[in-house]
Amino acid sequence: MTAPEIEGFSHSTLHTSHPAPEAKPKFTGPFLVVGLGNPGMDYVWTPHNAGFMAIDRIAQQQGVVVQNRRCKALTATTRIGGREVILAKPETFMNLSGASVAALLKEFEIGPEDRSNNLVVLYDELDLALGTIKIKERGTPAGHNGARSIAGALGSHEWLRLRIGVGPDLPPEAIAAGAKRRGGKDFLLEPMRKADLAALDEVLDRVATAVRRIVEEGPAAAMNEFNRKPDGKD
């Protein structure tokens, strides 16, 4: 015997409905990933070229080679999450990075209102310990000449950046006592030690994953995942 139907209700209306899963944000148009560094063999393995190394790691994973010249940069085109992604390494030297970035944005018709969802810049950060990364939607250059050049060329600090730590991991008490991280400009332009290159090599895979997350799901999702320290704290 089947259960009697209640007038005005069908069996389907008696079932508890579940909310639909939250849809992922949808982004359109090409996405520009720019890594900063200096061209030339003298700078290949220096801390200041961490951005170049990150672009090469992404290209390697995507099966492309960054070798096409356009907008004063070496570039490659690939697809991530169904989106066209342009990988770029400016050849203008670090201090003039903004000229290439501005030209690339114009070439791919990425306006100021689209930068937050269509541009990320990867570069080294001496004030972050080697082995760490930090994603920020805006901020001052904090002494980084490449970031300063981009801010000047775009007339804005409102652009997404992923900073790659290259500084030694000093304990908080040493920093509080006035100790400074190694070296500044001289350190950034010297070849890295084998141990430091090994540590950076592991970080580059994390950077590549973070960039994919930014492209596919947006900056907020990537920051929530990758800006946390190993102990789970922000």
Q: Which residues are catalytic?
A: 48
Q: Hunting for tokens 């994603």 — which residue is that?
A: 135
Q: Which amino acid is at 138?
A: R
Distance CA 141, CA 24 (A): 31
Amino acid at 121: V
Q: Longest Cα pair distance anywhere in the chain, in angstroms?
A: 86
Residue 86 in contact with residue 99, Cβ under 8 Å? no
Instruction: Measure the CA–CA gap between 58 and 79, rounded to whole angstroms.
Output: 11
Q: Comparing C-alpha atoms, which of 71, 73, 79 is closest to residue 109?
A: 71
Distance (Å, whole) CA 184 – CA 73 = 26
DSSP one-letter code for 159: S
Rounded Cα gap, residues 18 and 223, in angstroms: 29
Q: Which two tokens stand for residue 72?
A: 């004063």
| Pairing mode, strands 160-167 and 119-129 | parallel
Q: Which value, in Å, is the radius of gyration of the alpha carbons in the chain?
A: 22
Written as six digits, the tokens of 176 are 């509080």
